[in-house]
Amino acid sequence: MKTDLRKRILVTDLKKAKQAKLWPRIAKELERSTKNLTQINISKIQKNIRDDEIALVPGKVLSLGNMEKKLTIAAYNFSEAALEKINKNGKAILIEELLKQNPKGNKVRIIKWKHQKFLIRWLS
């Protein structure tokens, strides 16, 4: 995390946010090198998120799959194709926006890959 100013500012803001346990955890995830950040497809998110939840991806959302549910997905980064697909039916926001809109982290589900196993964490 040497040169990415946006990431450094976001990690600092997340560490300061003490309203919910999930923010320091997301900060820790984002402190890893960019090549080790989570990359996950829309299809995996859609399968594992309920309609009333917000999906939080501490990495990049990719465009494989179709967006059929009306979901809100927050991530550090999105591919252009993923942004188009998500914004047709749902809402794509950056983690910075989610932190401002929902500082308590209500109904947020963290989605990431770890050691080739798909992990979902429910924190509220």
For the stretch 62-112, pLDDT in tens is 999 888 889 999 999 999 999 999 999 899 999 999 999 999 999 999 988
Supply the mean pLDDT for the chain: 86
What element of type H or E holds 92?
strand 91-94
pLDDT higher at 122 or 72: 72
Is pLDDT larger for residue 114 or for residue 124? 114
Any idea how long the chain is?
Answer: 124
> How wide is the angle at C-alpha 101 spanned by C-alphas 52 and 31, nearest 5°?
95
Query: Alpha helices of 1-124 — where are they, by DSSP H?
Result: 5-16, 22-30, 42-48, 80-89, 95-101
Q: Within 10 A of 33 (CB to CB), how many other CB atoms are there?
A: 9
| Residue 68: strand, helix, or coil | coil
If one looks up domain 37-123 in CATH, what number appears?
3.100.10.10
